[in-house]
Amino acid sequence: MVDQPDELRQIRLFHRALADVNRLRIVQRLAGGSATVTELIDHVGLSQPLVSWHLGKLRASGIVTTRRIGRETICSLRPEAFSEAAVRERELLGMVPG
């Protein structure tokens, strides 16, 4: 088995988080502003456990953050995650201009 560098795993994690249509729909909704999990459930049309599972993948990749307010979980997109990932990816793949 070939050892995979952690940096490359991070790139893979980011891209895998965006490789699902339901997660892309969540990101698309959050691009318009923060939303509660209930609002995301209504938008995506999935069950609460599935939306929470998808949010977990998006949080793990650094694309989405969540915070609790009372009984509600508020989800927000980290738009800077995309530029950070692009810069990191270009550096790790050796595509930085010299």
Does residue 97 form part of some domain?
no
User: Residues 10-41: pLDDT tens digits?
Assistant: 889 999 999 999 999 999 999 999 999 999 99
Q: Take residue 7 and report the two structure tokens written for it.
A: 């940096």
Does residue 96 form part of some domain?
no
Q: CA–CA separation, 66 vs 54, rounded Å?
A: 13
Phi (first) and psi of residue 36, to 5 degrees: -80, 165
Number of domains forming the structure of the chain: 1
Does residue 41 form part of some domain?
yes
User: Residues 86-98: pLDDT tens digits?
Assistant: 998 888 888 866 5
Nearest to 37 by CA among 52, 27, 22: 52
Q: Tell me, what CATH number does 52's domain have?
A: 1.10.10.10
pLDDT band at 1 (very low <50, low <70, confident <90, very high): low
Structural domain span for residue 62: 6-87
Does residue 42 form part of some domain?
yes
Nearest to 89 by CA among 10, 35, 6: 10
pLDDT of 3 above 90? no
